[in-house]
Amino acid sequence: MSLKTTLLPPKLPSNLPQTAQWLAGEGAGSWFVIEPKAIDFEIKRYSPEGNLECEGLFKIFNQTAFNIETDYHFTHLSHCKTVRIIQQNITFVFERV
């Protein structure tokens, strides 16, 4: 029998913005940050210690429905190519360009 463990959020590293969100996983986790750009979104993923793991520009097809000013949270499966965010019960899929 294997026990699944989900990491609690570590202390937010001082080099990350206050908007960084912790996405826990089984035995691992990452910090995610999203910032709007002219027509895309820049998303960065950091290790629990605050080391940059990947970054890139991402697009979503229903971009006008996602509002960076409204509460949202990152969800699984998110990685360096695809990131999922839930906002108002809608899952937005961001694809790296």
Asked whether residue 5 is domain-assigned, the answer is no
Asked whether residue 15 is domain-assigned, the answer is no
Asked whether residue 13 is domain-assigned, the answer is no
Domain count of the chain?
Answer: 1
Boundaries of domain holding 33: 21-96
Asked whether residue 14 is domain-assigned, the answer is no
Which residue numbers in the chain have pLDDT < 70? 1-7, 62-63
Token pair 């937010």: residue: 12
Q: pLDDT, tens digit, for every residue of 43-59? A: 999 999 999 999 999 99
Long-range contacts, stretch 61-68, CB < 8 angstroms, 24+ apart:
61/93, 62/92, 65/90, 65/92, 66/92, 68/34, 68/36, 68/41
